[in-house]
Structure 1
């Protein structure tokens, strides 16, 4: 899988350089192999052994955005379970105001 990011009118050499830069910067987007022939892909537990801690100089504003989006996803999943897959009209008539059970999957409160 390759990730192509290019604007209309850019020279092809610039596009190729940009794709190579993405491949270097975001290697986690691509399968990791045991060998140069790209035959056997590493399993998650094998990759975990090679993981390194993030650098100490983390941009706090980016970290805040990441943590906020993760919290928002968790809250959205928890509060939205009873109305999942319902049309917008249903949400207008039945707004979510507290934790409820039920929904498509018959979940318990907060599940």
Structure 2
């Protein structure tokens, strides 16, 4: 498994995990890559906002990492675009909470 941590995005930490997955298809085995991503609050990496395994296989490790990073950014953007979620997010950053308090 390969892991990449990215620079904070809009106050959230992003970690993307890529694992090798062998796929059987006509004529043999093929290498594919699976991706999952995690978004955590700054200063409290144990407090996950969301950890999500994607259901797609990728041809290259680079494509998997790029997709995971983009999906995590989309999640953060969507969370901050809703006024009620934005308020809850600011409160969660201001005071450590449990995962259930954020969502």
Q: TM-score, normalised by structure 2?
A: 0.28
- Higher RCO (CA-CA < 8 Å; seq separation 6+): 2
* Larger strand share, 1 or 2: 2
* Larger helix share, 1 or 2: 1
Q: TM-score, normalised by structure 1?
A: 0.26
Q: Whose radius of gyration is greater, 1 or 2?
A: 1
